[in-house]
Structure 1
Amino acid sequence: MVDFVLVSVLVVPLFLAVLQVGLYLYIRNTITAAASEGAHYAAVLNRDPADGEEHARRLVTGVVRDELVEAVTAEPVEIEGQPGVRVVVKAHMPALGLWGPGLGFEVEGHAVKETGE
């Protein structure tokens, strides 16, 4: 019984840390994909950056808790001399599961805007 307690004191925190890293990577990758998809959506001919912002919000809603996403913004940018769209999603990831104080991060998605030429 003493061996179990001594081993579990080491194994349980290690397991929880690996679980937290996995959760962080899942949320960050999901938000990154939403930002990228939002930029591509806004880059289509006859769409503006606000459409991409709305699309990114729609992709994140229901997949990631709404409290984790702080802001979603989209703006026209120039990408290597071409008109483009950038969607930025600001979020945070709590240090303990999905609750508590967290680590803030920001991801961006870029896409070159389609032109009618």
Structure 2
Amino acid sequence: MSRVAELSPRSDDRGSSPVEFVLVGALLTTLTLGVLQFALAVYVRNVVHDAAVEGAHVAALADTEPGEGVQRTALVISRAVGRGYAQNVTVRETAALGVPTMEVTVRTTLPLIGLLGVPSGLEVTGRAPVESFTEEG
């Protein structure tokens, strides 16, 4: 009787290694892809933020127009991650801590699957103090 119990399908481990390999492999692949997607989202956010800051610095220069800051922001984003991410860029003059400041805001896609994602799901703002010339007599 004990021989019959040993050969029952419940106690036989043959063939379980390929199943375990597939299950563990699928889990590790999903985890790796999730980490890579998170890294891509952080990269896009950093690129868009740095572009907004650079655009604000350009817009804040004394010899430039605010629109040049928008153009510079869009150019940097387009070169780094694509034109689709540089569609909604705005600039306005504000006051931060009592100092005139140029503020560039970018609303763009938050990547969830590759570069596809939620439209206008990511908003970043870059600021720079407005440059001025003072004339000395």
TM superposition score normalised by structure 2: 0.78
Tell me by how many angstroms 1:30 deviates: 0.2
Tell me by how many angstroms 1:70 deviates: 3.7
Equivalent positions of 1:69-108 (< 5 A) are 69-99=86-116, 101-102=117-118, 104-108=121-125
Asked if the contact 1:68–1:93 (Cα under 8 Å) also holds between the matched residues in 2, the reply is no
Asked if the contact 2:62–2:131 (Cα under 8 Å) also holds between the matched residues in 1, the reply is yes
CA radius of gyration, larger in: 2
Which residue of the partner structure matches residue 51 of structure 1?
Answer: 68
Higher relative contact order, chain-length normalized (CA < 8 Å, sep 6+): 1
The gaps in structure 2 that reach 5 residues or longer are: 1-17
Higher strand share: 1
Question: How far, CA to CA, are the matches of 1:37 and 1:68 in structure 2?
Answer: 16
Asked if the contact 1:70–1:92 (Cα under 8 Å) also holds between the matched residues in 2, the reply is no
The reply to whether residue 113 of structure 1 matches residue 95 of structure 2 is no
Which residue of the partner structure matches residue 80 of structure 2?
Answer: 63
Question: How far, CA to CA, are the matches of 2:60 and 2:129 in structure 1?
Answer: 6
User: Percent identity at matched positions?
Assistant: 35
What is the aligned-residue RMSD (CA, Å)?
1.4
The reply to whether residue 35 of structure 1 matches residue 52 of structure 2 is yes
Tell me by how many angstroms 1:44 deviates: 1.2
Which residue of the partner structure matches residue 15 of structure 1?
Answer: 32
The gaps in structure 1 that reach 5 residues or longer are: none
Tell me by how many angstroms 1:81 deviates: 1.3
Number of positions where the alignment pairs a residue of Structure 1 with one of Structure 2: 116
TM superposition score normalised by structure 1: 0.91
Could you say what secondary structure the match of 1:95 adopts? strand
